[in-house]
Amino acid sequence: MGLIENGQGRLLMASRPAGKVYAGWWEFSGGKCEPGESAAQALVRELREELGIEVLDAEPFESLSYDYSHAQVLLQFFKVSRWQSAAPDKRVQAREGQQLLWVAPQGPLPFPVLPASLPVIKALALGA
């Protein structure tokens, strides 16, 4: 999962698109690893697919597992401090019909936020 920074201390959050589990809930972009793919490779691929950006610099931040009612997930978060967009206006693109929002880790946050994202947001708000 990408903790994408905009240079002003804000992080990009996205709403889950219609048709997905927890549609409308807010999370960090990124997602599942394909077979044989590392978490870092999945991050680069997913951010290109979901947001139209190329990752230039990303550092591992935190890993955690979370038990949702439908599945147990292992999430690996990366701080993405440098990235570039292929869009003419150089912005991220909502390529999957999701809403996008830049937020400060200290809040206010959009509602509802996926529970697995909350410990990471708290760590970021505390300056971890």
Q: Which residues contact 83 (CB under 8 A, 6 or more apart)?
A: 4, 47, 53, 54, 55, 56, 57
Task: Note down the domain range covering 7.
Answer: 2-125
What secondary structure letter does DSSP report for 41? Answer: H
d(CA 119, CA 63): 10
How many domains is the chain built from? Answer: 1
CATH classification at residue 102: 3.90.79.10
Tens digits of pLDDT across the chain (128 residues): 999 999 898 999 999 999 999 999 999 999 889 999 999 999 999 999 999 999 999 999 999 999 988 888 899 999 999 999 989 999 999 999 999 999 998 889 999 999 999 999 999 987 75
Cα–Cα distances (Å) from 126 to 65, 97, 106, 119, in that order, read 21, 32, 8, 11
What is the number of helices (H) and of strands (E) in the chain? 2, 6
